[in-house]
Amino acid sequence: MPDSADYQARLALSHRLLALPPTQLDQVVFALKPAPGNIPPNTAKPGDRVAALLEWADSFIGPGLPALEAALEQVISAAAGAAGLSSAAIASRRDVHIGESLDHSSVVSGDGNRVEIHHHYGLPDQKPDATRQDRNEKTLIEAVWTEVEDRLRQSLHNAILIRLDMAEQRNQVSRPWDSQLRTAEQGIKNLEPGTHIAEVFDRRDVGGKLLILGNPGAGKTTTMLDLAAVLIQRANDQPDEPIPVMFNLSSWQNEKQSITDWMWGYLKDRRVFIDEDLWKKWLQEKKIIPFLDGLDELPPKRQEPVVEAINGWLQSGEGPSRLLVCSRIEEYELYGAKLALNGAICLEPLTDQQLQDYLGSMGMGALWESLQQDEALLALVRTPLLLSVSILANEAIDAEQWGQKQTTQERMDYLLDAYVERCLHGKVKSREYPAGKQPTVQQTQRWLIWLAKQLQAQSEDEFLIEKMQPWMLANRQQQWLYGLIYGLIYGLIYGLIGGRSSIDVVENFDLSLSRFARKKFFKTFRNRLIVGLIHGLIGGLIVGLGALIVGLIFGLIGGLIGGLKTDISLRVKPNQGIRSSLKNTGVLLAIAVILLLVLRITLPLLLTNLLEESLIEAIVSAASFVTLCSSIYESSLACAQHFALRLVLHHTHAIPWNYARFLNHCTDRLLLQRVGGRYRFIHKLVQEHFAAMPLSR
C-alpha cells in the first residue's frame, strides 16, 4: 500500500468525513455543489458517498481536495459554535459562500477577530411541499425550481463562491418620478459588501423593478439565478407570491411580435408548454415576474427598440408589477433610451483581496503569485467566469505564447482556447460512454462547433434535439437527400415538394378531469368539429353526402386531438417531443381503430335506404381512410421528418447518431449545461468562441 504523504492525507480526510453525522456530510456535499449524479443520495451507504465525494473532488471536474477539506472545516466549525478555525483558514474563506445549510453567522479566529461568514442563497437540498392548489401553477413552479437548481449547480461561476460586490447606478434607469424630483442620488453608490441581490430587489424604492449590469463573465446571469432561487422559494411557500420565469431576449427577433406573444412562444418552444390563454391570464393577474436576460445579445439595431418596447409594456398597465433585466454595461450605455425601472446595480470586478483569499483557499497560492506578475492576465481574471477558466486551464497556459498576445480579445481567446483544450483532453469518467468508446477530440470539437454555429445563426442560447429543423441542412444536395428519405417514409411526392417545412411535434396530451381541462377540451373540440362540419357541408353541396360524412369525421378527429392537448407540460428529457409524438401516434391509432370499427358497423345501417350499396361501400372506405390518416397525421409526420433530418445530418458528420448521449458527455466535460431536455454552452462566451472556429471537414 502506498506510503506517500498525499495518500496519508487523503486517508485522514476520508476518516474525518466518515465520522460526520449524515446531516453534516450533506452540508459538505451541498457546499461544493457537485453536478447531479456525481455523489450518491443520502439514502446510500456513508462509505459509498464518501468514496464518491473524494473521487469527484480530486478529478478533473472537481474543485480539488483542498476545497473539500475547507468545506469540511467550515461545517465542523459552524456545528461546534465556532472557535476551532485557524486565522489562516478564516481569512482564506472570507466573503465566500459555504453552503445553503449554514446560517449567516460569525466565528472567532485565532487572533480574536470576529469574521462574518455568509451562507449561500441557493435552493435547499429538498424542495418543500407546495402550498398552491392550482395544478398548473404548481407545474410552472416545478419547472422554474428545476431550472434554477440545475443551472446554478452546473455554472462555472458557481465554482467561484465569492459574493460579488455591487455598485448602485440610478442614472442607468429612467424612474417615473425623476422628471418631477431633482435628487442627489444619481451617482455611483457602492453597496455594503455581502449585500444579496434579493435585498436590493425587495427595497421599497426599487419595488421589484431592477436592472443588472456588468462586463462579460461578471456574473449577471448567476446573480439573476441567485435572485430567482429566493423568489421561487417564496412562490412555493406563499400562494399569493408571483412566480419568476426566465427568458433570453436574444430570441425576440420579430419587431412586429408583442412581448406577451414572444414570451409565450419562447416557453412553448423551449422549456414548458403553456396554453396561450392561460399564459395571458397569468400575466393579466400579475402572477408572473419576468426575468429578461441577454439584452445585449440582440442584433445592435434591435436593442434600443426592445428597450422602448419594454418601457411601453410597463407603462401600458398590462405589464408586470415586477421585472428584472440583465445586460452588458458597454452596450447598454450606448442607448439613448433607458429602461423605465426603479433601480440599477452594476457588478464590480473582483478585488485583489478576493482573488488572493479565494486562490489561497484552493491551495493555489502559486497562481496568485503569477497573476501579480502579469497585469494583463490579472485584469482578465477579475470576473468569476474567467477566474474559473484560468484555474481549470492553468496547466495548459504557455507563458511564452501568452506573452505574445497584444490585445484583450487575443488574450481572452487564448484563455478560452486553453480552457477548451483542457476540457477536451482531460480524463473524465464518462457516464455515457464505456471506456475506450468516447468520441475523439476532433469529433467532439467539430460537433460542438456545428452546434454553436446553429445557435448563433438563430440568436439562440438553448438547444433541444426535437426542435432541430430542415434549415440546418447546409446545401441543396442535403435538402434533396432529406426530402428523398422523408418521401420514402411518408410519400414520395409530398416529401420532395413539401418535406422541407418546419417540424412540429405533438407531445402534450392531457387526460385529466380538471375543470379547466374539461372546459378547454369541449371548447377546442367544438371549434374543430364546426370547421370540419363546414368543410363537409361545402363538399356535400358539390360532391354529395359522402363528402359531408368525411368532413364530419375529419372535424371529429381534429377536435379530439386539439381538445386533448394540455394546458401546461414540462420538457424534462432529451428528445422528449419526438418520443411523445411517437407515443401519441400509438394512442391516436388505438382510438382511430375503435372509431373505425364503429364506422364500419353504423354507416351501412344508417345509409342502407338512402344510397346504393356500392356507393355506401365507397363512403365507408373513404371515411375509414380519413379516420386513420387524420388521427396519426400530425404526430407521425413529425417523427418521419425528424428521423430523415437526423439521418442526413449524421451522414454529413454534423452530429453523432446518439445525440443525447454525446451532449450529456459534453456536460461531464464542463462544456455544456443540461436543464431537463435542454442544453446550453457553459457560458455565452464559450458558445461564441466555438462559433468563431472554422468547421473542419
Cα–Cα distance measured from residue 26 to residue 12, given in angstroms and rounded to the nearest whole number: 19
Query: In this structure, what C-alpha cell is assigned to residue 238?
Result: 406563499
- Contact status, residue 30 vs residue 70, Cβ threshold 8 Å: no
In this predicted structure, which of 118-122, 250-254, 334-338, 611-615 has the lowest mean pLDDT? Answer: 118-122
Three-state DSSP at 683 gives: coil
The answer, yes or no, to whether residue 103 has pLDDT greater than 50, is no
pLDDT for 20-45, tens place per residue? 877 788 888 888 888 766 788 777 77
pLDDT mean over 374-386: 86
Of 463, 581, 508, nearest to 272 by C-alpha is: 508
**Largest Cα–Cα distance of the chain, in whole Å?**
105
CA dihedral 489, 494, 496, 498 (to 10 degrees): -120
**Run of H or E including 292:** strand 288-293
* Percentage, residues of the chain above pLDDT 90: 26
The answer, yes or no, to whether residue 464 has pLDDT greater than 60, is yes
In this predicted structure, which of 54-63, 104-113, 209-218 has the lowest mean pLDDT? Answer: 104-113
The answer, yes or no, to whether residue 495 has pLDDT greater than 80, is no
Using left for φ > 0, alpha for ψ between -120 and 50, and beta otherwise, residue 33 falls in left
CATH code at 135-347: 3.40.50
**Run of H or E including 326:** strand 323-328
Residue type, position 571, single letter:
R
Give first-to-last CA distance, the chain, whole Å. 49
| The pLDDT value given to residue 312 | 94
- Contact status, residue 217 vs residue 683, Cβ threshold 8 Å: yes
CA dihedral 651, 652, 654, 658 (to 10 degrees): 10
Cα–Cα distance measured from residue 159 to residue 145, given in angstroms and rounded to the nearest whole number: 20
Cα–Cα distance measured from residue 691 to residue 697, given in angstroms and rounded to the nearest whole number: 15
pLDDT mean over 484-509: 58
Cα–Cα distance measured from residue 304 to residue 292, given in angstroms and rounded to the nearest whole number: 14
| The pLDDT value given to residue 633 | 55
Phi, psi of 133 (to 5 degrees): -95, -30
| The pLDDT value given to residue 114 | 30
Angstrom CA distances, 199 to 95, 192, 202, 347, stand at 17, 11, 5, 15
CB atoms within 10 A of CB 144: 22
- The length of the chain is 697
- Residue ranges of domains in the chain: 5-117, 135-347, 488-651
| Degrees to nearest 5, angle at CA 545 with 541 and 548 | 75
pLDDT mean over 197-215: 94
The answer, yes or no, to whether residue 324 has pLDDT greater than 90, is yes
Q: Are strands 672-675 and 243-248 parallel, antiparallel or unpaired?
A: unpaired
- Which residue, chain included where needed, has cell 435585498? 199
pLDDT bucket at 587, cuts 50 / 70 / 90: low
Residues 6+ away with beta carbon under 8 Å from 696: 442, 445, 446, 449
Cα–Cα distance measured from residue 77 to residue 67, given in angstroms and rounded to the nearest whole number: 15
| The pLDDT value given to residue 583 | 67
pLDDT mean over 332-353: 92
pLDDT bucket at 522, cuts 50 / 70 / 90: low
pLDDT for 422-447, tens place per residue? 889 887 777 888 878 899 999 999 99
In this predicted structure, which of 23-32, 131-140, 256-265, 497-506 has the lowest mean pLDDT? Answer: 497-506
Cα–Cα distance measured from residue 549 to residue 496, given in angstroms and rounded to the nearest whole number: 31
The answer, yes or no, to whether residue 177 has pLDDT greater than 80, is no
pLDDT bucket at 74, cuts 50 / 70 / 90: confident
Higher-pLDDT residue of 562, 624: 624
| The pLDDT value given to residue 140 | 92
Three-state DSSP at 224 gives: helix
pLDDT for 134-157, tens place per residue? 888 998 999 999 899 888 887 776
Of 137, 14, 28, nearest to 75 by C-alpha is: 28
Packed helices 545-564 and 515-542: angle between N→C axes, nearest 10 degrees: 160
The answer, yes or no, to whether residue 689 has pLDDT greater than 60, is yes
- Contact status, residue 81 vs residue 57, Cβ threshold 8 Å: no
The answer, yes or no, to whether residue 391 has pLDDT greater than 90, is no
pLDDT mean over 567-585: 59
- Which residue, chain included where needed, has cell 482564506? 92
pLDDT for 597-621, tens place per residue? 776 777 677 767 666 777 767 766 7
Residues 6+ away with beta carbon under 8 Å from 341: 173, 174, 175, 209, 210, 211, 323, 325
* Percentage, residues of the chain above pLDDT 70: 70
- Which residue, chain included where needed, has cell 485557524? 86
Higher-pLDDT residue of 395, 517: 395
- Contact status, residue 264 vs residue 284, Cβ threshold 8 Å: no
Q: Are strands 188-190 and 323-328 parallel, antiparallel or unpaired?
A: unpaired
The answer, yes or no, to whether residue 231 has pLDDT greater than 60, is yes
Packed helices 545-564 and 613-651: angle between N→C axes, nearest 10 degrees: 40
